[in-house]
Amino acid sequence: MFIKNVNIFLLVPSLSILLLAGILGALWIINKDQRFLLWLCSSYALVAIPLGFQSYATIEELNRYALPSGVLYLSSAWFLSMSFTERRQVPSQPQLASLIGVFTLSVLVYYSSIEPNIWARLQSFSFGAGLILLLPIKSAFKKEQPKDWINQTLLYSYIFFSIFSIIRPVLIPFFGFKNIGDFSKSIYWLVTAMSIVFFALLFTTLICSIAIREMLDQLRNERDHDSLTKILNRRSFQEAAQRRVKDKRLYPIALLAGDLDHFKYVNDTWGHGCGDQILQLVSSTLQRNIRANDLVARFGGEEFVLLLTRIDLSSAEQVAERIRFEINSDKSVLPEGSKITISFGIVPITGPSHLESALKEADELLYNAKNAGRDRVHIAGKIYPDIDLRPMQEAKN
């Protein structure tokens, strides 16, 4: 049996590929959304088995196990192509791939059981695997091409590998592979095994850099955004706002503090789910009403803050009124006869060091608007004679 006379060196290609499969599998466990890692890991695990086996098998064993080896190689090609389709978000073609697979396996059976011919087997099998790999290429090219060099390298190396799989058997005569008894020690087999390891290493390096970069982007995104509404959170708002207020070209700048009215009542009456829906609705209304360079954030609870650039106070007031009107008019969340209301306090930002105190001033104006009956906009410097100075709790009742 092939297990006798084990030359450990011959196991290096399959063990290296198994190691790469392990790295990909571990990365996938960290972020299960990146399914292309799982497909690639499976592809490597499947190819490592016949690769190790063929490194030791005699020509009789190669004949006997041609079908299972072929199934593993073709499945590995299919998983590799699935990894690529998942990555590029293009459709996979399982029916066509199955057809190619069945046809290729039939040829393999013929050239292993009926008329054993290793050369014909290699050609048909490599051709079948290459075709399966090439299936998603057309749709991948119809899509917008990747702009960064890592994704571009991945695309072109995948195409190169697919074409290489098809033409590899053509290399046989050039490597003088004549004595089929020496298959596992032939230069052809060495080139095949080393090329598989080379491409596996290349794909792993590229895919892992892409996966890690995307994971970091995702973490940064989660750190900077509110998970319910997807708008900026307080910390990232303050960072971004600091940059805006230092830029003279963005002045005049206005700061708006908004707070939903009687939100506790909404939660208590219609449930927390309804409250969450309202928070999402308000966030999308706020986002719809801002321009490039403006910021919108959820500061926590039912409290929102906007930084509007290149705008005077009265225009900022109009924006707030428009938002208030849109929120009031929404009929999608609360039952007929009830409406969502919001109050605003607005102040101008006078300079780079004013941000922190402007936030406090806007909050005070917002508090005044609440005391004055809610569902209203109060702006800095304006006198509101109808202000209701009753405590907030009393006003609620």
Work out whether strand 295-300 and strand 232-233 pair parallel, antiparallel, or are unpaired. Answer: parallel
Report the site for ligand GTP in 211-270 (rule: CB under 6 A): 228, 259-265, 267
For ligand GTP, the binding residues in 288-307 under the rule CB under 6 A are: 301-302
Give dist(CA 318, CA 325) in Å, integer. 10
Decide whether 96 or 228 has the Cβ nearer to ligand GTP.
228
Minimal distance in Å, beta carbon 314 to ligand GTP? 26
8 Å CB contact between 268 and 327: no
Q: How far is the CB of 296 from ligand GTP (least distance, A)?
A: 16
Active-site annotation holds for 302: yes
Shortest distance (Å) from residue 298 CB to ligand GTP:
9
Tokens 């005077």 belong to residue: 312
* DSSP result, 230-254: -SEEHHHHHHHHHHHHT-GGG-SEE
Question: To the nearest whole angstrom, how small is the minimum distance from the Cβ of residue 371 to ligand GTP?
Answer: 9
Residue 346's DSSP bridge partners are 256, 379
Does 372 contact ligand GTP by CB under 6 A?
A: no
Instruction: Name the segment binding ligand GTP (CB under 6 A); options: 61-69, 151-159, 273-281, 282-290.
Output: 273-281
Q: How far apart are CA 78 and CA 73, in angstroms?
A: 9
Q: Shortest approach of ligand GTP to residue 341 CB, angstroms?
A: 8
The torsion angles phi and psi of 127, rounded to 5 degrees, stand at -65, -45
d(CA 294, CA 256): 11
Q: Which of 324, 370, 376, 378 touches ligand GTP (CB under 6 A)?
A: 370
Binding residues for ligand GTP, how many (CB under 6 A)? 18
Cis bond upstream, residue 391 (ω within 30)? no
Q: Which of 86, 302, 317, 361 is catalytic?
A: 302
31 lies in the site for ligand GTP, by CB under 6 A: no
Query: How remote is the C-alpha of 7 from its chain's centroid?
Result: 43
Where on the chain is the footprint of ligand GTP (CB under 6 A)? 228, 259-265, 267, 272, 275-276, 279, 301-302, 370, 374, 392
Catalytic residue numbers read 302
